[in-house]
Structure formats: structure tokens, C-alpha cells
Structure 1
Amino acid sequence: MKETNISIGKYRWTICGLLFFATTINYLDRQVLSLLAPSLSEEFGWSNTDYANITAVFQFIYAISMLFAGRIIDKLGTKKGYILAIIVWSIGAIMHAYSLPVGTAFSTFMVWIGVGAVPISIAGFMLSRAVLGFGESGNFPAAIKAVAEYFPKKERSLATGIFNSGSNVGAILAPLTVPVIAEYYGWEFAFILVGAIGFIWVIFWFLLYEIPSKQKKLSKAEYDYIHDTESQVAEKTATPAEEKVAWFKLFGYKQTWAFVFGKFMTDGIWWFFLFWLPKYLEAQFGMKGTDIVLPLAVLYSMTMVGSIGGGWFPMYFINKGHNPYEGRMKAMLVIAIFPLVVLLAQPLGHITFWIPVLLIGIGASAHQAWSANIFTTVSDMFPKKAIGSIIGIGGMAGGIGGVLVSKLGGALFDYYDGLGHIQTGYSIMFAICALAYLVAWSVMKALVPKYSPITDL
């Protein structure tokens, strides 16, 4: 097998590496606010509901934009679409550093249109999060489309797991760097420095990426290997107008709804961990600033195991004779059981903060394993020309689920904090996090009980 891989070439893994670094940057930019939230909440007087509203703006704009991001990626192509996405979200990340002047203008505009005054700090961060969410919505539709272009079906979950592990690396690097940068240079510089990294990635993507049929660095043997399990004879290179698939037609398939429901139920869980864990460690254990560096670094290091291992796991069943979809669904059922350990985070948290950190780490790791596989169910079922659009529709559903989870969390934490029992609020949220995956898998399996590829688009 090693000799075969050498002879056919490995350029597809260079593309996977670029997707990995883009996703790392994506999550670095996304997480800066959550790591600075305890100190920013203290500086600007934010309540849990205020912070929930700021994060909800990101999730809402991300959700709505995902619906169009996939279409834009399909229309512009993976190369141009990805460049546009990362430039926009990098600008949004840097805007956070100028949230006060931006907030003044935005708050004035809100009054002018009759919505009412919004506190300047909240308004500025809301607008910055909106731009960030709009740009970041393009990452996964572009990345999944690139994987479908460069990998045969049997390798797609592994490639997806590898590039998706960039979210874990970003989540690890963020607590190791952001609090330190903020402590020595100020919170504004943390947003600027992290946001600027995206512009460096654009240069490499521009130089190294092209669709396989036009990629001079790709050998014919590797091109043939990429397509050897496809039903089509050659990669489609039709014009954007010819590749366009009507949204309403996509909504007519149960396969679309299975993906949509799975994303709706589970995306918000990951975002809850990402946006609220620093606040949780502060509220429950009095940790803030650089105190959270080690526990968060350990927790997100655990998630890399889930991301890469989850990408490999279906191959165990596929190699035993199951088709890709059946193998993926069997793997996802096993994966969905692991988040149940999060139910023990609060009951055992009084012993040491490391117990909830490790248990939540297992749940977050399971999410990444789940994510690597749920994305790949789309390329299993749909032709390449529809993948970006389907990913966009599912991403919108996941974003809406994230908004609901964030708003529910903020309301619960303020309510129980007022009663002096904020830990009860976290117990409720952790229960939701633990059970969501089994519910999602059950509905997905009911909608698409067996492998049913779409052939009439």
C-alpha cells in the first residue's frame, strides 16, 4: 500500500494541509472573544445575557450566511470562494479591536432606525461578530467541496477529520496565546494579531490550489486514483450556470433533511463548549486570565483524537464490506454514546476542576468525531455540484441551533446566578449536550435508513 501511495503521488494531502491551516485560523479568530470574555465582561459590565447576545449575533449571521455561502462557493469555485471568505472573516476579527468607535456608529444607527439605543461596547462587538460570522460561513462549504474534488470517497472522512482537526488546534493555540498577548499588549492587540494571520494563508492558497483537472502539480496516476471510485468518468468542469441546483429541489430529499437535523441538534453543542467554557471555569472555579490556559489546552488537545480518529473509524466498517454510508452511520452511533459522560461533570466537579475538564473533553472529542462523519455523509449522497449548497443549508440549521443554545445558556445562567445556584444552570446545559447526539442519530437513521445516493440532479 505504501508503494502504491508513493507511485500515485500525494499532492491531495498538500491540499488537505491547506484546509487544515485555514480551519485552524478560523477557530483561532472565533475563540479570541470567549477567552477574553471574563475580563471584557468585567470591564464593560456585561451580564451573561449580554454575552449570550453577542455570541448569538455571530451564530445567527453565520447561520443565515451558510445558506448562501455554499451557493457562493459553488458559483465562484473553491479557489476564489475560499479567498473571499478568509479575507472577510480576517477583517471581522480585526474589527473587534476597534469595537468602541465602531459601536458608537452602530448604536447611533440603531437609534435612527427606531430599534433603540444599544450600549456602545455591546454594539461594537455585535457588528464585529456579524462580519466575522459572515466570512467564516464560507470555510466548511469550501473545505468540504475541496475534499470532494481531491479525494476518493473512501478517503474523504479521513481527509475531513484531518482538516477538521484544525478546529482543535486552533482551540488549543488560542488559550495558549491569547491570554498572554492580552496581558502584555492589551486585548485589542490580541484581536489584531490573530486576525492578520488569515492574510498570510491567502498567499499560499492562491499559489498552490487549482481544481484537479487544471492542477499541473497533480500526476495523472493520482488524478485517476481520486476518481476511481466515482460513478462519473471524469471530473465535471461545467460552468457555474450549468452546475446550479435549485434549493427547493434539494429540500425535496430526505438526505438533505437528515443532514440538516443532525447539524441543528449538534453544532450548538460545540459552540457552547467553545464560547462558554472560559465563563464556566470562572463561574464555577474562579479561574480567569492565564489560569484557564492549561485546562483548556488539555481539553482541546483531547479533541484532536476524536477528530482524526473519528475520520478513520468508519473505514473499519467499510473495510469489512459495508458501503460508505452504512459504515459511517455505524461509527456515528458509537460516537454518539460518548457524550453521555458529560452528565457526570457537575456531580463530580466538587472533587477537582480536572474532572469536568476531562469529561467535557471526551464529549467535545466525540463531537469532532461526529462532525468529521456528518460532513462526509453529504459527499456520500450528493453529486459534487450540490455539495456546497447542501453544506450551506446544514450549516444554517447548525447556526440556528447554536443561537438557541447560546440564548438558553445565557438566560439560565443569569436566572440561577440570581438564585445563587449557577451550577444548576450548567447542569441543565450539560444534560442537553450529553443527549443531543443520540437524538440526532436516531432521526437521521429514520430519515435515511440505508445508502441512497442522489442520481437525478
Structure 2
Amino acid sequence: MNINNNYKTNLTEEKPTRVRYLVLALIFINIVINYMDRSNISVAASHMSKDLKLSTVQMGLIFSAFGWVYAALQIPSGYLVDRFKPRAVYACSLFIWSLATLLQSIVGGFGSLLGLRLSIGCFEAPVMPASNKVASSWFPTNERASAIAIYSSAQFVGLAFVSPLLFILEDKFGWKFLFILTGLVGIAWSIVWYALYRDPSKSKRINNAELNYIKEGGGIVEDEDVDNSTTKEKAQFKFSDLKMMFSNRKLIGIYIGQFTISSTFWFFLTWFPTYLVEYRHLSFIKSGFVSSVPYLAAFCGVLVSGFVSDKLIKKGVSMGVARKTPIIIGLLLTTTIIGANFVDSTPLIVMFMAIAFFGNGLATITWIFVSLLAPKNLVGLAGGVFNCTGALSSIVIPIVIGIIVSGGNFTPAIALIGILALIGALSYIFIVGKIEENN
């Protein structure tokens, strides 16, 4: 009798599927396309500004226009992700921002280009809250930092490997072709995402063993049989929820940190190619390959950060030490960007930039704190608030640098990025404090 029972038990034991890794691959591609459509303007900027007769101040406004609505819509986007789910929100936003990218190929001047950049910022707003929601749904707590690191690394992979290709294409076919190609890629992928993605409880690919593994490990999985009216009631917007997001000391600390981390990123995403071509006098094609080195360094940094942080958690290291240490070290490394002001050699300039962006990559796992600190039914809203504070840098940094460098000197702009990184490190050290997971 016992033998038969053991035999039946062995037959019914399931080996967990690994559908979560397919989902992670889908998010990864989403982010590559997302950042390709953010950065293509910086590749096109040098030739586009001459063709459209745009000044450095106007280009600063064009660079920052994306951030105006992107930052403003982060909180509403977080609410949308909680209410309408990532599958539809992601697909719609990806399709429309890709269409706006495509239309940049026919702009005739400052006004039309500004309007399209505003549109792209609007429809890219749900991307990071949706990605964080998907990762929080599909990955248990002890794998989440690695998952976030992998999909966050996509932004640097896109910049490192796609940017040189974009420079070559722009040089060969012109800046208009750049927007046509990147727009069409995004439109096609929006259809693929909608066809393939499902939440864990609705996926036909996942088995019960993997679903239970995710749930028992702290994954935020909504049961398929939960009443829809209950789900909608949970997702109703409340000002008390929003007030809580701005009254918690830990959250305020990570908001400050996110602004400083994003400031470095937006310098590289907007003004870095111009810095290499016009201030350091590198050729256009050479600058495309040189600029890829810091992006590769950042890619390595974010992967090291995520995997090391999760490994420390599995070894029993405290949450605060495992999660905060890579971020603080990364921000301190980012301050070394100031060293580029004191050298003229291209290899040394690239070295300082690479060290700084490696540090920025180390610090990029900050999204882990959203799912750790926020109530589980408000992960989307918390992600929106968190990304809103970071996105403010996409408004401030391009404009401020555009004003600073209008006289042809990038030295103060580089110093500004280093100082902000130091402020971010101090925020995590003195304001964030001990990290504990909310239930």
C-alpha cells in the first residue's frame, strides 16, 4: 500500500516550468526598444540641428521635452498599471510611441519636433511601472533583484550595441531613416508583446509547480478567480495612498537617490555624443563606437549588482546591506566622472566615463525598493511615484546642461553630474535607513 502511494506521489510531482524567464526576455526586448527610441534623438542631434537650424538651447528643450510629460504622467501610469494590467497598457503605449517615433522623420522645425517628443514621453510613461509590476508578479523575492537587473541592463545593451549601428545608419542613410526604422521596429514588437504576454494566473504555459513557487516566494500574483469588482475596488485612486508615498522617510530617501542616478543616465542619453563630437572633437562615426564603451560598463555594473545582491540575500545577509551596498558603491564610483575634466587623452576620458557609468549601472537596481517598501496592492502607484522623481532629471538635466554648455565649455556640466551622484550616495547612507519588506 505504501509502495503504491509513493508511486502515485512521484507521478503527480511536477517539475516547475521556467515561463518566468520567457517573460523576462519579453520585458528585456521592450526596454531595448524603449531606450532605442529615447536615444535616437541624441544620435540624430548633430545633423538634425543643422538641417532644422536649432540652437543648443533649443536642442536642450527638445531633449528635455520627453521628460516633461513622462515625469508628469508617472503617477497616473502607475494607477493605470494597477487597474488595467500590464499586457494591454504596455502594448498600446508601445504602439503609439513607436508611431510618434516614425513621424519624427517628417518634422519641419522646432515646433513639430517638440510636439512629437512630448508624445513619446507621454506614451512611454507606463513602461517602468509596468515592467516592475510584471517582475513583481512573475518573480519571487529572492530572484527579483536579478530579474530587475537583467531587464534594467537592457537599456545599456540597447545603448551599447544599438547606438553604434544607429550612428552608421544615420551616417549612411540620414537622420530621417533612423526614425523610420526604429519606429517600425517598435510597432511590430507591440503586436508580438500582446500576443505572447499573460499574467501568471492566466498563462497557459506555466504549471502549478512554478506558480506555487512564485507565490510562496513572495511573488505578487493575483488569483484568476478573484472577483473583478473586488480587484477594481482595490485599484481605486485614493489621495491618502498618494499622501503616504510622500510622507515616508525611506521613500523620500530613495526618491532623492533616483533623481541623482537618473541625472547621470540622462547626461549620457542626451548630451554625451555631442560632448564627444563638439567638445572632444572626435569624428562622428568614432564617437559612436567610443560612446558604446561606457554603456557596456554600465551593462556589466547592473548585472553584477543584481546577482550579487540576490546571492547575499540567499546567504542570509540583511536586506539593508544586500540591497543598499551596491547602490552606495555605485553612486560613489559615479563621482569619478569629474576626472574627465582633468585629462585630454581619449582613452583616459573613456576610462573615467566608463567607471562612472559602471557605477551608475551598479546603482540601477533601486527599483527593488518599490516592491519591498510599497503595499502589495499599490506597487504600480508606488512605481509611478518613484519613477516620477527620477524622471524629473530628464527635464532638468538636458535644459541645465544646454544652458551651461552654450558657451562651448562642458567642464561645469561634468562636475554637476559628479556632485549629484555624491548627494545620492549620502541620501542612501543617511536618509533611507534600514530596509524591511512590507506585507
Asked if TM exceeds 0.5, the reply is yes
1:23 to 3, 23, 31: 31
Structure 1 residues 101-153: Cα deviation after superposition (integer angstroms, max 9, x where no partner): xxxxxxxxxxxxxxxxxxxx111211111111111111111101000000001
How many angstroms apart in 2 are the aligned matches of 1:384 and 1:93? Answer: 34
Q: Which amino acid aligns with 2:359?
A: A
Structure 1 residues 300-343: Cα deviation after superposition (integer angstroms, max 9, x where no partner): 22221012112112124323423434410122222222112212
Shift of 1:275: 0.5
Question: How is 1:264-343 mapped onto 2 (pairs within 5 angstroms)?
Answer: 264-343=259-338
Q: In structure 2, do the counterparts of structure 1 residues 185 and 298 end up closer, same or farther at CA, with 3 Å as the change threshold?
A: same
Check if 1:438 corresponds to 2:425. no
Q: Which amino acid aligns with 1:413?
A: V
What SS does the corresponding residue of 1:256 show, helix, strand or coil?
A: helix
Shift of 1:441: 3.4
Check if 1:255 corresponds to 2:250. yes
Equivalent residue number for residue 122 of structure 2: 134
Question: How is 1:22-421 mapped onto 2 (pairs within 5 angstroms)?
Answer: 22-100=30-108, 121-230=109-218, 235=223, 237=226, 238-244=230-236, 246=238, 247-348=242-343, 350=344, 352-371=345-364, 373-415=365-407, 417=408
How many angstroms apart in 1 are the aligned matches of 2:166 and 2:160? Answer: 10
What are the ranges of 5 or more consecutive residues in structure 2 without an aligned counterpart? Answer: 1-13
Q: Do the aligned partners of 1:88 and 1:135 also contact (CA within 8 Å) in 2?
A: yes
What are the ranges of 5 or more consecutive residues in structure 1 without an aligned counterpart? Answer: 1-5, 101-120
Equivalent residue number for residue 7 of structure 2: none
% identical equivalent positions = 22
How many angstroms apart in 2 are the aligned matches of 1:88 and 1:233? Answer: 28
Q: In structure 2, do the counterparts of structure 1 residues 143 and 429 end up closer, same or farther at CA, with 3 Å as the change threshold?
A: same
Shift of 1:245: 5.1
How many angstroms apart in 1 are the aligned matches of 2:317 and 2:377? Answer: 26
How many residues are paired up?
A: 419
How many angstroms apart in 2 are the aligned matches of 1:233 and 1:288? Answer: 51
Q: Do the aligned partners of 1:34 and 1:276 also contact (CA within 8 Å) in 2?
A: yes
TM-score, with normalisation over the residues of structure 1?
0.86
Shift of 1:205: 1.7
Farther off after superposition, 25-34 or 287-296: 287-296
Shift of 1:40: 1.6
How many angstroms apart in 1 are the aligned matches of 2:433 and 2:294? Answer: 34
Q: Do the aligned partners of 1:32 and 1:190 also contact (CA within 8 Å) in 2?
A: yes
How many angstroms apart in 1 are the aligned matches of 2:89 and 2:376? Answer: 15
Structure 1 residues 57-116: Cα deviation after superposition (integer angstroms, max 9, x where no partner): 11111111212211111111011111122112111211211211xxxxxxxxxxxxxxxx
Equivalent residue number for residue 3 of structure 2: none
How many angstroms apart in 2 are the aligned matches of 1:85 and 1:242? Answer: 23
Q: Which amino acid aligns with 1:353?
A: T
How many angstroms apart in 2 are the aligned matches of 1:262 and 1:341? Answer: 17
How many angstroms apart in 2 are the aligned matches of 1:233 and 1:203? Answer: 24
2:18 to 10, 32, 41: 10
Q: Which amino acid aligns with 2:423?
A: V
Shift of 1:43: 2.2
CA RMSD of aligned residues (A): 2.1
How many angstroms apart in 1 are the aligned matches of 2:374 and 2:162? Answer: 35
Q: Which amino acid aligns with 2:368?
A: T
Structure 1 residues 373-407: Cα deviation after superposition (integer angstroms, max 9, x where no partner): 21011111223321111111122212222322212
Shift of 1:442: 2.6
What SS does the corresponding residue of 1:345 show, helix, strand or coil?
A: helix
Q: Which amino acid aligns with 1:449?
A: G
Q: Which amino acid aligns with 1:144?
A: N
TM-score, with normalisation over the residues of structure 2?
0.90
Equivalent residue number for residue 112 of structure 1: none
Q: Do the aligned partners of 2:138 and 2:220 also contact (CA within 8 Å) in 1?
A: no
How many angstroms apart in 1 are the aligned matches of 2:165 and 2:43? Answer: 10
Q: Do the aligned partners of 2:31 and 2:154 also contact (CA within 8 Å) in 1?
A: yes
Equivalent residue number for residue 431 of structure 2: 447
Shift of 1:173: 3.3
Q: Do the aligned partners of 1:333 and 1:441 also contact (CA within 8 Å) in 2?
A: yes
Shift of 1:235: 4.9
Farther off after superposition, 398-407 or 157-166: 398-407
Q: Do the aligned partners of 2:332 and 2:425 also contact (CA within 8 Å) in 1?
A: no
Q: Which amino acid aligns with 1:139?
A: V
Shift of 1:285: 2.5
2:412 to 428, 432, 435: 428
Q: Which amino acid aligns with 1:86?
A: L
Q: Do the aligned partners of 1:149 and 1:384 also contact (CA within 8 Å) in 2?
A: no
How many angstroms apart in 2 are the aligned matches of 1:288 and 1:396? Answer: 36
Shift of 1:297: 2.3
Q: Do the aligned partners of 1:259 and 1:378 also contact (CA within 8 Å) in 2?
A: no
Structure 1 residues 399-444: Cα deviation after superposition (integer angstroms, max 9, x where no partner): 22232221211111013x2xxxx1xxx2222222223233223324
